[in-house]
Amino acid sequence: MTNVPSGGRMNRVAEELEVSSDSLQTAEMLARQASVEGITAKHGDDTVAAAALLLAVNQSGGWYTAKDIVNAWREGGASSGLDENFSLNSVLRAEKVLAREISIENEPTKPEDIVERYGEELGTSDEIVEQTKQLLTDVRTEDPSVIDRWRSPADIAASALYLVVYLNDLRLEYTQGDIAETVGVTEVTIRNAYQDIANALGGKQSLASSGKYAVESEENGEETNTQDTAEQVVDNGQNDEVEKEASKADPSTPNSSSEHAREDSSTSTVQLPRPLVDTIGVLIDQGDLDATSKSTFVEDCVRDVVTEHLRSDKRSLSPVEKPSSEDLVSLTIDSMLADMIDALTSQYEVFENRSELVESILRPRVESVAEPMSVSVTFPSDVSLELKRRVQNEDAYKDESELVRNLVIESVRTALLAEASEDEARDSEQ
C-alpha cells in the first residue's frame, strides 16, 4: 500500500484537533490517491496532506477550519522541513484541486458548524450558542451575500457570537478581545463583520427592540431584557446632547474655563470638548461612525478598552494635550460603565477625572476616521507682513503656520458654535 505523504504530521494534527478516526482514514485515503494522481508532486507533501485532512473534516461536518489545520500543522516543531510554499492559501487551492480531480463533493465549513466549539472555549451558555446559530440561519435567509463576503467562516462565527453577546448586554463577560483571541481573528474583523450581520437583519437597535435573540441570564436564569437595553439606547439618544440650558445655570457645569471639570462620581456623565463631540456627531450623520447617538458611540468605543485595561496590567493610556480653556459638553453614559471608568482612572496618576481618560480613548478613534487636513495657502503681501509681525511680537507661536492654524481653528469653531446656538434657538421656538 502506498505510504501517506506526511502521514506522521497528519496523524499528529488529527490527534491534537481530536479529529475522528473515520475522518482520519478518509484523509489518508485521499492523500494516497492524490499521490497516485500526481497531485502531490505538483503541490507538495504537506500541502496535499493538510488539504486531504481539511476535505475529510468538511465532509464529516467537523468543527475545524483551514486556518485551524494549517496552524496546527506548523506548531509543535512541525514547521521544520515543511513544503517551501506551505500556507493557508496553498492548502485551500490544493483542497479544491483534490476535490475536483478525485470527484468528491467539497462542502466548506459553515460558521454554524464551529460556533459551538468557540462557545465552549469561551465558556458561554448553550443558549448563546443556539441563538448564534439561529442568527446565522436568519442571515442566510435575509442576505446570504453577507456570509459569502467574508473569506473565513471563523470571521463570521466570531462576529455573530459577539453580536448575540452585544444584544444581551454581556460585553463585560465576553469582550471583543476575548472572542478575537479565542477564535484567532482580529478585533477589527469582528467590528466590521458584526455590523454587516446586524445591518442585514435590520440594525442593532431593531434587533435589541425585538428581543428575538434574548438569552437567560447566566447568573440567575432570568431573561435578559433586551427591550430595556433598546429603550436605554433610545433614551441616550434623546438625552445625548446634555449641553442643556440647565447647565448654563448650574455653576458645577464646566465651561470655557481653565479650571478642570469637577465630576460627581455618583453621576453617569462625562465632560468632553465641544469640538470633539461635534465631530462625533458629524461623523455619525455622515455614516462614517456606526452609532445611533453620540452617547452610544462613546459607550461602545470606551467599554472594551476599559475592560481590557482593568483585566490586565496595561497602562498605555496618556492624557491628550489640549488648550487650558475649552468649552465642554456633558454626555450621559451607562452608570456601570462610569463605575468601571472611575476604577481605571484611580489606577492612573495622570488623569484627574473620568472625562480625561475617556477623551484619551476617544480622540485617536475619531481622528482615525476624520483625518486631519493639510493645505497650502498663499496670502497677499499685507496679510503676510501682519502674520510675521504677530509671530515676532507674540511668544505664543513658533512660526506663521502655527498662527494661521490657530486662527482658522478658532474661526471655524466659533462659526460652528454660532450655528449650534441658532439650531437650539429654533428648536426652543418650535
What are the residue boundaries of the structural domains of the chain, listed by start? 7-101, 111-226, 239-369, 381-429
The phi and psi torsions of 191 (rounded to 5 degrees) equal -60, -40
Instruction: Answer whether residue 134 shows pLDDT above 90.
Output: yes
Instruction: Answer whether residue 13 shows pLDDT above 80.
Output: yes
In this structure, of 43-52, 136-145, 304-313, 339-348, the range with the lowest mean pLDDT score is 304-313
Instruction: Answer whether residue 84 shows pLDDT above 50.
Output: yes
Q: What is the CATH number of domain 111-226?
A: 1.10.472.10
Predicted local confidence at residue 57, as pLDDT = 81
The phi and psi torsions of 346 (rounded to 5 degrees) equal -65, -20
Instruction: Answer whether residue 424 shows pLDDT above 60.
Output: yes
Q: How far, in Å, CA of 270 to CA of 328, rounded?
A: 9
- Same fold? 7-101, 111-226: yes
Contact in structure between 344 and 306 (CB atoms under 8 Å): yes
Predicted local confidence at residue 374, as pLDDT = 65
Q: How far, in Å, CA of 1 to CA of 31, rounded?
A: 12
Mean pLDDT of 385-399: 77
In this structure, of 336-350, 353-367, 406-420, the range with the lowest mean pLDDT score is 406-420
Instruction: Answer whether residue 227 shows pLDDT above 60.
Output: no
Position 150 confidence tier, pLDDT thresholds 50, 70, 90:
low
Predicted local confidence at residue 249, as pLDDT = 34
Closest CA to 15 of 72, 78, 60, 63: 72
Predicted local confidence at residue 149, as pLDDT = 67
pLDDT, averaged across the chain: 75
Instruction: Answer whether residue 303 shows pLDDT above 70.
Output: yes
Closest CA to 208 of 172, 167, 171, 240: 167
Contact in structure between 92 and 45 (CB atoms under 8 Å): no
Mean pLDDT of 281-302: 81
Q: What is the DSSP letter of 370?
A: S
Predicted local confidence at residue 241, as pLDDT = 38
SS3 label, residue 415: helix
Mean pLDDT of 50-54: 87
Nine-digit cell string for 69 = 489545520
Most confident of the ranges 52-56, 116-120, 130-134: 130-134
Report in angstroms the alpha-carbon separations of 382 from 379, 396, 399, 400: 8, 21, 17, 14
Cell 447647565 -> residue = 247
pTM over 0.75: no
Most confident of the ranges 218-232, 294-308, 366-380: 294-308
Instruction: Answer whether residue 390 shows pLDDT above 70.
Output: yes
Nine-digit cell string for 305 = 478598552
Predicted local confidence at residue 1, as pLDDT = 45
Q: What is the dihedral of CA 191, 182, 154, 75, to 10 degrees?
A: 130
The pLDDT > 90 percentage for the chain reads 4
In this structure, of 25-29, 217-221, 391-395, the range with the lowest mean pLDDT score is 217-221
Q: Which helix (H) or strand (E) holds 273?
A: strand 269-273
Position 164 confidence tier, pLDDT thresholds 50, 70, 90:
very high
Class of domain 7-101: mainly alpha
Predicted local confidence at residue 96, as pLDDT = 83
Position 79 confidence tier, pLDDT thresholds 50, 70, 90:
low
In this structure, of 8-17, 215-224, 374-383, the range with the lowest mean pLDDT score is 215-224
Closest CA to 102 of 41, 29, 44: 29
Predicted local confidence at residue 127, as pLDDT = 92
The phi and psi torsions of 290 (rounded to 5 degrees) equal -90, 95
Q: How far, in Å, CA of 294 to CA of 284, rounded?
A: 8
Nine-digit cell string for 394 = 507674540
Q: What is the number of other CB atoms lying within 10 angstroms of the CB of residue 25? A: 12
